[in-house]
A and B are shown apart, each in its own frame.
Chain A
Amino acid sequence: MSDKFRKSKSDKSSSAAKTGAKPASGPAAGKRRSSEGPAMPFEHKILEIEDKIQELKELADSTSFDVSGEIVSLEEQLREVISKTYNDLTPWERVNVARHPKRPVTSDYIQMLDDFVELHGDRTFGDDPAMVTGMATMGDRRFVLIGHRKGRTVKERLECNFGCAHPEGYRKAWRKMKLAEKLGLPIVCLINTPGAYPGIGAEERGQAMAIAENIIGMFSLKVPIVVLVIGEGGSGGALGIGVGDRVLMMEHAYYSVISPEGCAAILWKNGERSPEAAEALKLTSEDLTALGVVDEIIPEPLGGAHRAPAEAIATVKETLLRHLEELDGIPADELIRARRLKFRNIASIEGRFPVVSG
């Protein structure tokens, strides 16, 4: 196999180490921040302190002043502010964190793998860049990885339609899942999409049908499926690769039937009421765990995964390995039966759903 098909640690698009590293001292602090994407208002204070620390460090490097005392106290203050801010995030702020441009995306998680061979195409229509699929090895586990791809740079993001997959993306995912089943490999799905692509070509090629076929098909796959929402869990586009024996969610990810903007636009004809919609939709990991939609929350480093990607990725790796281990060796018929019952009884509430009388 040529190197072209092999996405290994040299993948330039994004490396965990790179995103985790502090940028080298360089341009002025204000400028440095603005290059990191749109600021989230609730992070202003955090960024201010981070900038101050950076400035002091630069000062220490270029002069002989000893500012280590100030730096230590600022760092202490920073931890407090981050902790306070992130403990009180509103659902809308959570959505912003889930969309943060520096948040680890599927290609970053691919970096945690010991081997990854990307497999392209649905052998019917095309190769959707918004869906990445391939053979993966992590520690002593081999599996098939399916994930939405958002891209990191503007160019990549445009190429991937910002993670909005077309029908060929869902069919590509299905094809690789069937391959996993045949080879007896478990499946790991990383969800990170604002939603399936709404466009003319997508409708022509059966967007709804492709998603529906995946959902029903996943109920018959004879291998374990672990699903993890890493950022945005946008509606049917997320569920199209979201039927699993385990459904996990990153602490600051969201999973919803509609985007807060879409909800606000429909209900109140006013996109500015998105924060209210985010609140109403109960889309946070805590809400969804309480409702019984999500099995487990993967905690993120203090201040969100974008602040310490390497740490977040390590936790994800550990958690995924644990679930793969737990699901290993369960006979296929038991697995399928349990998976169907899981979704049949999902978000159950005693005396109401599922309907049980008496």
Chain B
Amino acid sequence: MSKEPDPKEVAEQTEDPSERKPGRLSRLRFSKKKDMPGGLWLKCENCSSLIYRKELEAAGRVCPSCSFHFTLPGRQRVQSLLDPGSWEEVFADITGLDRLSFTDKIPYSEKLAKTAERLGQNEALICGRGSIEGRSVILAVLDFSFMGGSMGEVVGEKLALASDLARVEGRPLVIFTSSGGARMHEGALSLMQMAKTCSALQSLSDAGGMSICVMTHPTTGGVTASFASVCDLVLAEPGALIGFAGPRVIAATLKQELPPGFQRAEFLIKKGMLDGLVSRSELRPMLGRLLDYAKGSHVGGDVEDDLAADEVPNRLSGGRTDSRTPSERGKVRLDVPSAESSN
């Protein structure tokens, strides 16, 4: 079990002005800082009512007035979803590379390092083993606090590894998304993660493994247009913004205002794009019920089905130093070691 950061701390961390955050809008509306003493209050981005921050956190970041589901930081999601003590993080130490030497305001490598330090995690995707209402799963959570939950090489690689782990261990894969899409700092490399993740998920699917994606606010771009949409079950939290193009891009292209409720989860379910809407408080029991249907559906972990045998065991060790001899390394290892939790 990893040490979970204090929810309040997490909430403050998400207030980095460089990221788009729910609280930002409210700050803009208040002309003077003294109107918002210490950020104790914030405005609901859906119904505009003032919410006492502590009350919001106590309610699992769901607006007490309109039930709008605020984005939940990754670690908070893990903590609120899994059975206590069941979490065992893997692949936590995989770090990104600035292969394009990309610079916006600051070099991308610096941005990565700073964000990692601030959040105490290396990348936007958190993966691990855990259980939900007693059903063991592989969980992958995209954390919007980390560069808008954007998908670069590490996120793509970790998602693919999580999918492999689910396949090899015969556990269902549960994914939570909140993302602005592909990470442009990695150019076409991030675009290719859309294909990489789908490749891994198809292999999981072929093996009979079950995958469930819960789209949360907001899920857009290359994440919606790849692994998130191709899971066996696609659920969403109420009010979540889900789409391919962002609403601002569409409004700018069409030069018109968008209809109310456009691209919200309720809109998508009406259009037939989702299997279900599940409110945050109902998630655990609902996932528990659904996961029961995965039992026995898994065919098994013949890793040689899809990937070369000499690659899989090493990959699944989570990218840590492998102490085995080269000859041992060639063997398929199904007992994937647990990674120490990252703090």
* Interfacial residues, chain A to chain B (CB-CB below 8 A): 196, 198-200, 202-209, 211-213, 215-216, 219-220, 235-236, 239-240, 242-243, 255-258, 262-263, 266-268, 280-283, 288, 291, 293, 337, 339-341, 343-344, 346-347, 349, 352-358
How would residues 258 to 298 of chain B score, 1 for a CB under 8 Å from any chain A CB and 0 otherwise? 11001100010001110000000000000000000000000
Question: Of the candidates B183, B230, B271, B326, which one forms a contact with A212 in the assembled complex, judged by CB atoms under 8 Å apart?
Answer: B230
- Check A340/B199 contact, CB under 8 A, given A205-B271, A209-B273, A355-B161: yes
- Find chain B residues with CB under 8 A from A346 CB: 192, 195-196
- Check A198/B253 contact, CB under 8 A, given A235-B191, A293-B188: yes
Residue B59, interface by CB 8 Å: no
| Inter-chain pairs besides A198-B249, A215-B198, A343-B199, 7 sampled, C-beta below 8 Å | A198-B253, A199-B245, A215-B226, A243-B198, A282-B188, A288-B188, A346-B196
Query: What are 24 A-B residue pairs whose CB atoms fall within 8 Å in the complex?
Result: A198-B244, A198-B253, A200-B250, A203-B262, A204-B271, A205-B271, A206-B271, A206-B272, A207-B243, A212-B227, A242-B195, A257-B186, A263-B184, A280-B100, A281-B100, A340-B307, A341-B308, A343-B195, A344-B160, A344-B196, A354-B157, A357-B314, A358-B317, A358-B324
CB distance from B145 to the nearest CB of A (A): 18
Contact A199–B253 (Cβ < 8 Å)? yes
Q: Interface size (B, Cβ < 8 Å)?
A: 73
Contact A212–B202 (Cβ < 8 Å)? no
- Find chain A residues with CB under 8 A from B192 CB: 293, 343, 346-347
- Check A354/B250 contact, CB under 8 A, given A293-B189, A347-B189: no
* Interfacial residues, chain B to chain A (CB-CB below 8 A): 91, 94, 97, 99-100, 102-105, 153, 157, 160-161, 182-184, 186-192, 194-196, 198-203, 206, 221-222, 224-230, 242-245, 249-250, 253-254, 258-259, 262-263, 267, 271-273, 306-308, 311, 314-315, 317-322, 324, 326, 329
- Find chain B residues with CB under 8 A from A220 CB: 202, 206
Complex Cα distance, B202 from A199, in Å, reads 29
Contact B244–A208 (Cβ < 8 Å)? yes
Contact A358–B253 (Cβ < 8 Å)? no
CB distance from A274 to the nearest CB of B (A): 13
Contact A211–B225 (Cβ < 8 Å)? yes
Residue on A nearest B156 in the bound complex, by CB = A353
Complex Cα distance, B317 from A216, in Å, reads 26
- Find chain A residues with CB under 8 A from B91 CB: 355
Complex Cα distance, B191 from A255, in Å, reads 10
- Find chain B residues with CB under 8 A from A206 CB: 271-273
Complex Cα distance, B188 from A282, in Å, reads 8
Complex Cα distance, B140 from A21, in Å, reads 57
- Find chain A residues with CB under 8 A from B182 CB: 235-236, 257-258
Residue on B nearest A344 in the bound complex, by CB = B199
Question: Of the candidates B189, B244, B271, B321, which one forms a contact with A236 in the assembled complex, judged by CB atoms under 8 Å apart?
Answer: B244
- Find chain B residues with CB under 8 A from A256 CB: 187-188, 191
Contact B315–A356 (Cβ < 8 Å)? yes
Contact A212–B189 (Cβ < 8 Å)? no
Question: Of the candidates A204, A208, A216, A281, which one forms a contact with B224 in the assembled complex, judged by CB atoms under 8 Å apart?
Answer: A208
Residue on B nearest A204 in the bound complex, by CB = B271
Complex Cα distance, B271 from A108, in Å, reads 37
- Find chain B residues with CB under 8 A from A211 CB: 225-226, 244
Question: Of the candidates B195, B200, B243, B320, which one forms a contact with A357 in the assembled complex, judged by CB atoms under 8 Å apart?
Answer: B320
Q: Which residue, B99, B198, B242, B271, has most C-beta atoms of chain A within 10 A?
A: B198
Complex Cα distance, B226 from A357, in Å, reads 27
Residue on A nearest B182 in the bound complex, by CB = A257
Complex Cα distance, B245 from A208, in Å, reads 8
Complex Cα distance, B186 from A242, in Å, reads 18
CB distance from A95 to the nearest CB of B (A): 13
Contact B184–A215 (Cβ < 8 Å)? no
Complex Cα distance, B242 from A116, in Å, reads 39
- Find chain B residues with CB under 8 A from A242 CB: 195
- Check A344/B225 contact, CB under 8 A, given A200-B250, A281-B187, A288-B188: no
Complex Cα distance, B184 from A262, in Å, reads 10
Residue on B nearest A220 in the bound complex, by CB = B202
Complex Cα distance, B244 from A200, in Å, reads 11
- Find chain A residues with CB under 8 A from B249 CB: 198, 262
Contact A213–B230 (Cβ < 8 Å)? yes
Residue on A nearest B322 in the bound complex, by CB = A358
CB distance from A66 to the nearest CB of B (A): 53
CB distance from B94 to the nearest CB of A (A): 6
Q: Which residue, B186, B188, B191, has most C-beta atoms of chain A within 10 A?
A: B188
Complex Cα distance, B244 from A198, in Å, reads 8
Q: Which residue, B160, B189, B242, has most C-beta atoms of chain A within 10 A?
A: B189
Contact B187–A282 (Cβ < 8 Å)? yes
CB distance from B228 to the nearest CB of A (A): 7
Complex Cα distance, B264 from A203, in Å, reads 11
Contact A355–B157 (Cβ < 8 Å)? yes
Contact A291–B99 (Cβ < 8 Å)? yes
CB distance from A249 to the nearest CB of B (A): 11
Contact A219–B314 (Cβ < 8 Å)? no
- Find chain A residues with CB under 8 A from B230 CB: 212-213, 215-216
Contact A236–B194 (Cβ < 8 Å)? yes
- Check A236/B104 contact, CB under 8 A, given A209-B273, A357-B320: no
Contact B199–A219 (Cβ < 8 Å)? yes
Contact B322–A208 (Cβ < 8 Å)? no
Complex Cα distance, B265 from A203, in Å, reads 12
CB distance from B205 to the nearest CB of A (A): 8
Contact B307–A257 (Cβ < 8 Å)? no
Complex Cα distance, B157 from A236, in Å, reads 18
Question: Of the candidates A213, A219, A257, A262, which one forms a contact with B188 in the assembled complex, judged by CB atoms under 8 Å apart?
Answer: A257
CB distance from B41 to the nearest CB of A (A): 29
Complex Cα distance, B329 from A212, in Å, reads 35
- Check A266/B184 contact, CB under 8 A, given A203-B262, A344-B307: yes
Complex Cα distance, B245 from A346, in Å, reads 25
